[in-house]
Structure 1
C-alpha cells in the first residue's frame, strides 16, 4: 500500500545507560492503597533499562509517499491488512458487507517518541510485549510466514525474539470462511531456566467519536500526574467517561471485570455500530485510553497524522489489570490465548441510553449471538493443536537476534524457526564470541555495535581477551546488571589502549553524571566530542547520528556545569543539517538563553521549530518558554498532558 511516510532513520548509536523516564510509574505511597496482587505485580521487576535495545530517534517530520509492504488476509466478509515491517501492525480491518473500516486507519506513517525505545506510530492493532509502554518492535520487522492449519485454513504467522525480556513470541492471524471475526492466537514462551516478567497488551485504535463499553462498574484511572485510583463506571465526577470526548486531559481507564465474566470491549458510534474485541480469559485486562479535548491532547493528535484526519482513542486488552504490572512466566513454560476482532451492530437507544447495565447487556448479548463463548473456546483448543506447525512459505524476515539465541542455547521452539540464515552484521561479532571465545576487533572505524547484556553474554565477555572493544561491551553489560563500579573499571581499562576513545569516554561521562559529578562529566563529554570530531570520516548517516547524539548529551552536560562557552563550541561543530533539526533548534534556544540573549532565544520560537522526537509527557518546550516569555505558550508548542500545577515527578 502507498502511505505518506516519515522514514524511521538510523538508531541512536549510543547505548541507553540512563534510567528510563517515569511517565508510567506509581510511587510507593500510591501502592500502599492498592489491592495486594496488583501492588505485588507493579513491584515485580519493572523495566529499569532499555538495553540491549537502542533508542530510535533518527526520524523527522518530512513525509513522502512510498510503497509499504503488506500481507493481506481475506475471506468473503473481512479483509485485514498487516505491515510485517512495522511490528506486524494490522493497519486496516475492513468489513465488506457493511462497507465499513472497523479501525482508526491513519493515512500517514509518522514516527513519534511513544515506544519504549522511541519510534512508534498511531493507528490499527498493535502487539505490545516487553514492559509498560509501546513495544520496541513498533517500527521493526517481524518474521512472517504462511501456515496451513489442520482443517486447511490459511494462517499468517508472525514471530520474533523480544529482547528486553529475552522471550520469543508468535501471533497467528486467520479468517475462517464465512466469519465476521479476525482470529488472533498469541503464544509467548520462556525457554530459560529462570522465571521471567511478562507484559502483553493488544492495542486497538478506533475513531474517538464512539462510546466504549466493557463489562465493568469500576475502573482504575491513571493520568499523567501519575496517580492510580479507583473510579466508578460510567459516570465519574458528574461526567460519563465512556465517551472519549468528554474529558479534558489524556487518561487511562483500566476496567475492573468480575471473575468468570467473558472478556470483551467494544467501541460503538452514534448508530450503535463499531468494533468488538473479545478473548479467552487469560487476557484479563481491558483499557480505554483517551486523548481528551484539551489543547495538549488535540496537539498530539494532529502531530501523529495530518490535518483533516479524525481523532482516535484506544481500546486495549492485556494480561494484567493495568499496564503498570508484570505477570510471572515460569521457567520453561508458555502462555497462550485467543483473541477475536469483528463488527458489532447494537440497539442505539440501549447502548447510548442512561442504563449502563442495559447498554452492556446489549453488547454482550450481541457478541454471544455472533460469536458464542463456547464456540470461541473450542476454536482456541483447535488452534493450540496447530501452534507448533512449522511454517511454509516465508513472507517477511525479522531480525537475527533470535537465531543467535538459538545458536547459543539450542532452544527447541517448534513453529517459530529462528534460522541461522537470518544472522546479520549486528549478530556476527557475537556469534564469533560464541564460537571462538574472543570478541573481534572491528575491521573499520565506526561507532560500536549493539551490546548484549544478558548474564550468559556478560559471562562470555568477562572470560574473553581484554581488548578495548571487549572492555567497552563488558562495561555496558555490567552497568546494566547494576555493577556500576565494575563497569567504570572496565571502561577505564579499555581507554588505556583504545584507538577510538569517544565511546568509552561517553560511558564514563554518563557514570559521572549519574554519580552527581557534573564537573568531571563535563570534562569527559568535552574530550569525547573532541575525539569523535577527529575520528569521524564523513557526513554519512552513521557518523551524523553519532555526532548528533553525543553533541546533544555533551551540550546538556556542559550547560548543567555552567560551561556555556564549551557548550557553544560543541554546537558550532555539529553538522549544519543537524543544527537545523527541531530538537537542536530547541537546544539552540536553551544555549542562547544561557548566554543571556533572551531576545535571540525568543526569535528561535518565533521562527518556528518542530521537535520530531518530543517524548510523550515531556514538558521541556513549555518550561523553556516560561523562562523566555510571560505570554501563554503558543498552541503549536503545547503538548501538555496533565492539568497545570499537578506534580508528575513520580
Structure 2
C-alpha cells in the first residue's frame, strides 16, 4: 500500500522578487490591522462570537520583525520544493515559504485544483509585511496572514497511518508562543489529500489561538457551502449577517458578481458537515472538508472594482487570471480568537480533492447535490476514521529531515525542557539570532556585540523580560529590556531603560530611535523629530559598510525620520535626511512616495506631481492604506489614475 506514495525533492522555477532583509527596527507602534469590528456591531452579534472578537486581539507585532525589504524586480529563481505523490494526486509544497501548497494536481484529469500563481511577488498583506498569493497557506497567530508566510518551516518524513510516507511541517509560532504541526498524507489510490493539524499550548496559562487554512482558487467559479446566511465584512469595517447567496441584488456565490472586496463567513448550522467547494462553469473544481473542530468556512472576493482589479495585477502578472479564496478556520469568523487551555492542544483533519457537481441552479438544490456528491466520493465517516488513524502517528518522531526552520523553538525548549513528541526542536537548529539569548539563559548576562552592527531581534515574553531585569545593565541589555517593557505596556519604565542605555552605549541610534517612537506616540512631535534627526546622524557616522544589514537600517530609520520631520513641519531637515540616503534606497517606490510628500511640504507641487506621474511602484504598499490617495489629492488633477488605484472601500465610506 505504501509503495505507491512518495515524497521527493524538486525545484520550482518562477519569476521571483527577492525577499530582502527584515526591518532591523523593533516594531513599537500599535499594530495597524484593517480587520477591526466597530463596537456598534458587537451588540447585534451572537454572544460567543462577540466574546471571541474581544478575546485578546493582537496589539503588537513583537517579537517578530517587520519584513519590508522586498522589491518588485523579478528574475527567474529556483525555489526548493517537496512533492508528495500517489497515482492520483501530485502535491507541491514550498517549505521555505511557510510550507505553502503551491500546486494540487489531479493526475487522471490533468486539472490543477488550486490557483497557482505564475510568479513569486511579495506584498504587504501579512501581519509582518511580506506575503504572496496562491495555493494553500496555513494561517496561525492572529487575525490576518501569518508572520510565517515567507519563512522556512521544519520538514521531515514520517510514517503515514497506512504504512506509506507522510510529510510533516512544524514550527514555533512566536506571536502566541505556540508550536504547531501540519501533516500531509496521501493514502494509496486516494483522490484526496489529508492534512492533519495540531497546535499545542505547553504553557501554564491559556493562550489565544487563531487558525485559518486559506485556499486560492480561480475566481471564475461558483463557491458553495452548506449555509443560507453569512457574516459579511468589508473594508468599511462593518460585520453583519446577510442572506446567502443573494445579497444587495447580486448572487455573491459568484465572485465576479461582487464589485467590492469582502469576506463572507458562512453561518454553517450546528451538526452540518463542514465543507466548501469552488466549481467552474463545467462543474469541476475543488472541495475542502474537515472534522468538525475546524468549524468556520469563508469566501473572500477581490471584487470587480478598480482597486480589487489593481491588487490582483499587483500580486501576479496582468492577464493571467484572478483568484478568490475559500477558507476554513477554528471560529465562525477571522475576527475571533479561541481559548487554548494551559498544557492543552487542539487538532483536526482536513481533506482536499476534486469534486464534480452541477453548480447552476437554485442554491438549496446545488448545495444539496454537491454535498451528496461529496458524500459519495468521501463519506464524512471516512474523514473521521482518517483523523483517528492520523492521531496514532501524530507523536511519531520525524525521520529524514527535508528542510530546517528557525531556531526559536529550540531556544524555548532549551529554556524549559519541554517534551513535544512529534515536533522536535533540536539544539543544533539554534542560529546566530538566538545565540545572545542562549548566553543570557546560561550566564545571566546579555552579551555586548563583538563588532559594531545593528541590534539583533528582541524577545519580549515575561520570562525573558525577567531575565533582562536581573542581568547586568549593559547597553544592549537596557535596549532589549526597554523593548520588552514597552511590549508589556510599561512605557514609562521602557523609556527609563532606554535613557539608562544612552548613558553607556557606544551606539546611540537604536536607543534614540526607540525614544523617538515613544515621543511620537505620546504626541511630542518636536522632540520626536529631534531624536529622529539625532539618531539618523549617529547611524550615518557609525555605518561601517554597504552590506545588507546596514542598508536595511539606513532605509528603515531614514524613512521614519523623514515622516517625523515632515509631521513636525521641518521640510529642510527632512530634505537633509533624504539627501544622505543612498541612491538605491531613494529609487525604491516607497521612497518615491516620501519624496513626493517632501516636495509638497516644500511647496513644489509640480515636482511632486511629476513623481506620481512617473512609473511609481511602492512595493510595500499596505492593504487598505490610503497613502497614494492622499498624495494625489494634494498633487494631482482629475481622478486617480488606474495604475495608482488600490482603493478597497466602497465609494462614500
Q: TM-score, normalised by structure 1?
A: 0.98
1:143-542 → structure 2 map (5 Å cutoff): 143-347=154-358, 351-353=359-361, 355-542=362-549
The Cα shift of 1:539 comes to: 1.5
1:602-621 → structure 2 map (5 Å cutoff): 602-621=609-628
Measured against aligned partners, the alpha-carbon deviations of 1:5-45 in whole angstroms (never above 9, x if no partner) come to 10110000000000011301112222122111011000000
> What secondary structure, in the 3-state scheme, does the structure 1 residue paired with 2:80 have?
coil
Match for residue 26 of structure 1? 37
Structure 2 residue ranges without an equivalent (≥5): 1-11
CA RMSD of aligned residues (A): 0.6
Q: State whether structure 2 residue 10 is matched by structure 1 residue 3.
A: no
The Cα shift of 1:619 comes to: 1.1
> What secondary structure, in the 3-state scheme, does the structure 2 residue paired with 1:69 have?
strand
Measured against aligned partners, the alpha-carbon deviations of 1:399-435 in whole angstroms (never above 9, x if no partner) come to 0000000000011100000000000000000000000
Match for residue 72 of structure 2? 61
How far apart are the structure 2 equivalents of 1:607 and 1:277?
44
> What secondary structure, in the 3-state scheme, does the structure 2 residue paired with 1:340 have?
strand
The Cα shift of 1:540 comes to: 1.4
1:556-595 → structure 2 map (5 Å cutoff): 556-595=563-602
How far apart are the structure 1 equivalents of 2:39 and 2:241?
17
Of 108, 129, 132 in structure 2, the residue corresponding to residue 97 of structure 1 is 108
Paired residues of 2:161 and 2:390 also in contact (CA < 8 A): no
Q: Which moved more, 1:497-506 or 1:28-37?
A: 28-37
How far apart are the structure 2 equivalents of 1:261 and 1:224?
30
How far apart are the structure 2 equivalents of 1:552 and 1:66?
29
How far apart are the structure 2 equivalents of 1:324 and 1:283?
15
Runs of 4+ with deviation above 2 angstroms: none
> What secondary structure, in the 3-state scheme, does the structure 1 residue paired with 2:433 have?
coil
Paired residues of 2:160 and 2:185 also in contact (CA < 8 A): no
> What secondary structure, in the 3-state scheme, does the structure 2 residue paired with 1:170 have?
strand
Q: State whether structure 2 residue 99 is matched by structure 1 residue 88.
A: yes
The Cα shift of 1:67 comes to: 1.0
> What secondary structure, in the 3-state scheme, does the structure 1 residue paired with 2:373 have?
helix
How far apart are the structure 2 equivalents of 1:587 and 1:245?
35
Q: Which moved more, 1:184-193 or 1:627-636?
A: 627-636
How far apart are the structure 2 equivalents of 1:428 and 1:22?
32
Q: TM-score, normalised by structure 2?
A: 0.98
Match for residue 150 of structure 2? 139
> What secondary structure, in the 3-state scheme, does the structure 2 residue paired with 1:588 have?
helix
> What secondary structure, in the 3-state scheme, does the structure 2 residue paired with 1:427 have?
helix
How far apart are the structure 1 equivalents of 2:381 and 2:164?
20
The Cα shift of 1:149 comes to: 2.6
> What secondary structure, in the 3-state scheme, does the structure 1 residue paired with 2:352 have?
strand
Structure 1 residue ranges without an equivalent (≥5): none
The Cα shift of 1:633 comes to: 0.5
How far apart are the structure 1 equivalents of 2:39 and 2:248?
26
> What secondary structure, in the 3-state scheme, does the structure 1 residue paired with 2:285 have?
strand
Measured against aligned partners, the alpha-carbon deviations of 1:463-488 in whole angstroms (never above 9, x if no partner) come to 00000110000000000000000000
Q: How many residues align?
A: 642
